[in-house]
Amino acid sequence: MKPARDLTSLEVLEIAIRSEMDAAALYRKMGKLVKNKDLKARLAQLESEEKKHRVMFEEIYKKMFPETDLKIPKKSFIPIVTTALSDDLPMKQLFQAAMEAEKVSEQFYKDLAKRSIDIHGSSMMMYLANVERGHYDLLKNELEFIEKFPEYYDSEYFNFGDDMIHLGP
Residues 79-92: what's their mean pLDDT?
88
The class of domain 7-148 in CATH terms is mainly alpha
Q: Judge contact between 98 and 84, C-beta under 8 A.
A: yes
pLDDT interval class at 55 (50, 70, 90): very high
Other Cβ atoms within 10 Å of 147 Cβ, number: 11
pTM: 0.85
Higher-confidence residue of 23 and 155: namely 23
Q: Judge contact between 76 and 85, C-beta under 8 A.
A: yes
Residues 2-13: what's their mean pLDDT?
73
Q: Judge contact between 121 and 56, C-beta under 8 A.
A: no
Q: What is the pLDDT of residue 151?
A: 76
Residues 32-60: what's their mean pLDDT?
94
Q: Which tens digits make up the pLDDT trace of 94-135?
A: 999 999 999 999 999 999 889 888 888 889 899 999 999 999
Q: What is the pLDDT of residue 148?
A: 85
